[in-house]
Amino acid sequence: MKLTDYFLPVLKESPADAEIASHKLMLRAGMLSQSSSGIYSWLPLGLRVLKKIENIVREEQDAAGVNEILMPTIQPADIWKESGRYDDYGKEMLRIKDRQGREMLFGPTNEEQVTDIFRRTVRSYKELPSLLYHIQWKFRDELRPRFGIMRGREFLMKDAYSFDLDKESSRASYNKFFVSYLKTFERLGLKAIPMAADTGPIGGDMSHEFVIISDTGESDIYFDNRILNLTNIDENIQYNSDLSTIVESYQDLYSVADDKFSEDDFNLKVPEEFRKHTKGIEVGHIFNFATKYSEPMKANVLNSNGKTVPVHMGSYGIGISRLVGAIIESSHDENGIIWPNSVTPFDIGLINLKIKDFDAVKICEKIYLELKDTGIDILYDNKDDSPGAKFSRMDLIGLPIQIICGKNSVKDGTVEIKYRNSGDVKLINISDVVNFIKNK
């Protein structure tokens, strides 16, 4: 992509109402445009990152054997009346009426909708377990939307749902999601800690929040520091094997959100040198709620004895739009964003400092086309701006590698490679650029 064709409205100054780094940087880097309180449009750079995160989450759900579906944003109130949550959900739910006067709502979550799909289609225990997910916009009329897309009113969520015959197999489904979440967040360049948590309006008796440590997070977390040293999940993990040992290795170390915190337990279970109390950002939340929805909504199957029984369910959320902010919170410096390779909007930024020099333009065009041909995403700054403006814009948008083409490029046939993360700069020959980048 050439910068002269790209819609990238960067700002010099942070907007006054943005309080935290990620919100400021997303606005300054031209990723977002606010529509109203807690509601945003995603501009090209922001949308690229959102899609990359969405795809990693999708790949990991698929790898764990979860089926992708797409449910509507607008749901009928009737199913929420059946589950009993229509009144419980309160003012966070956006309620609307269609032209026939039927009560509808903009979905804040989908337990009822997915349970309705299940009860219409599945009859026998032989079809279980069933695992479904979708990636869809949600609306919650949050009391205090803040920090940009971090606590929005409209936000993108991956929500998954499990249906099992009994408590035991439902626990195995829970473990599957638990492990796949650890792997997903690893791929996103994040260390997410699973914390035992309250279930709130979703309900149930077992729940974990996945939280990344950050001073600007809204959650208070208490944990045993050794949880950060547990080994990563194997890339080829077999999701149909028994995953309880992995899950227990996390659960054996005390880690809780503040609604589950007990000072006595913390002191008893964690030696003083490992006790940690910090702020964090909740990027995922999983729940097991047994038959809370299946019983009132009559989502039943026939078991092996021909008896009708309600299914055991769980739900599993990841805040996809929140993750964009969370990744920036954990990876930026005073000059701007530093994208992890897995979610960077472009792999490479190519800067031409000599846009009026015919030979420099020729060199850059060649590098640009050759890299593009190898399937590398490259943003070519071919704009007629000062070097200072070009450097600060490229640092702000945070691409991992910059190729800088200046006066030496024409004279000596070299370009500079700058790593955004370390700031290290390296000179290489123009003829080696493509191979060098390909090997990275």
Number of residues that bind ligand 5CA (CB under 6 A): 21
Considering the complex, state which of residue 175 and residue 352 has its C-beta at the smaller distance from ligand 5CA: 175
Residue 195 beta carbon to ligand 5CA: minimum distance, rounded to whole angstroms: 11
With contacts defined by CB under 6 A, name the span among 56-64, 79-87, 284-292, 294-302 that binds ligand 5CA.
Answer: 284-292
Quick one: which of 224, 282, 329, 395 contacts ligand 5CA (CB under 6 A)? 282
285 part of the interface to ligand 5CA, by CB under 6 A: yes
Alpha-carbon gap, residue 170 to 173, rounded angstroms: 5
Q: Binding to ligand 5CA by residue 203, rule CB under 6 A?
A: no
What span, in angstroms and rounded, lies between the C-alpha atoms of 116 and 351? 54
Whole-number minimum distance, CB 409 to ligand 5CA, in Å?
44
Question: According to the binding rule CB under 6 A, does residue 152 interact with ligand 5CA?
Answer: yes
Q: Which pairs with CB-CB distance under 8 Å and at least 24 residues apart come from 329-334? A: 329/20, 329/21, 329/22, 329/212, 329/214, 329/216, 329/217, 329/281, 330/189, 330/190, 330/212, 330/213, 330/214, 331/189, 331/398, 332/21, 332/22, 332/25, 332/398
Cross-strand partners of 41: 33
CB of 317 vs ligand 5CA, minimal distance in Å: 3
Q: Work out how close the CB of 314 gets to ligand 5CA at its nearest, in angstroms, rounded to a whole number.
A: 9
CB of 303 to ligand 5CA, least distance (A): 26
Decide: is 136 part of the binding site for ligand 5CA (CB under 6 A): no
Contact predicate 87/130, CB 8 Å? no
Q: How far apart are CA 259 and CA 402, in angstroms?
A: 45
Query: Residue 84 CB, nearest distance to ligand 5CA (Å)?
Result: 16
Q: Per CB under 6 A, does 188 bind ligand 5CA?
A: no
Report if residue 204 touches ligand 5CA, rule: CB under 6 A.
no
Grouping H, G, I as helix, E, B as strand and the rest as coil, residue 370 is: helix
Query: Of all residues in this chain, which one has the CB nearest to ligand 5CA in the complex?
Result: 319
Output the six-digit token pair for 389: 């403006």
3-state SS of 89-144 is CHHHCEEEECCCCCEEEECCCCHHHHHHHHHHHCCEHHHCCEEEEEEEEEECCCCC
Angle between helices 320-330 and 44-63 (to 10 degrees): 110
SS3 39: strand
Query: CB 227 → ligand 5CA: shortest distance, Å?
Result: 18
Residue 286 in contact with residue 207, Cβ under 8 Å?
yes
DSSP structure string for 245-276: HHHHHHHTS-EEEGGG--HHHHHHHS-GGGEE
Give the Cα separation of 292 and 194 in Å (integer): 23
Is residue 183 a contact residue for ligand 5CA (CB under 6 A)? no
CB of 145 to ligand 5CA, least distance (A): 7
Q: Which of 40, 106, 155, 181 binds ligand 5CA (CB under 6 A)?
A: 155
Two structure tokens written together for 48: 């690229």
Which is closer to ligand 5CA, CB of 24 or CB of 151?
Answer: 151
Site for ligand 5CA in 293-352 (CB under 6 A): 315-317, 319, 321-322
Among 83, 109, 113, 352, binds ligand 5CA (CB under 6 A): 109
Closer Cβ to ligand 5CA, 139 or 346, answer by number: 139
Give the one residue of 29, 128, 283, 363 binding ligand 5CA; rule: CB under 6 A.
283
Residues lying near ligand 5CA in the complex (CB under 6 A) are found at: 109, 111, 140, 142, 151-152, 155, 157, 159, 202, 282-285, 287, 315-317, 319, 321-322
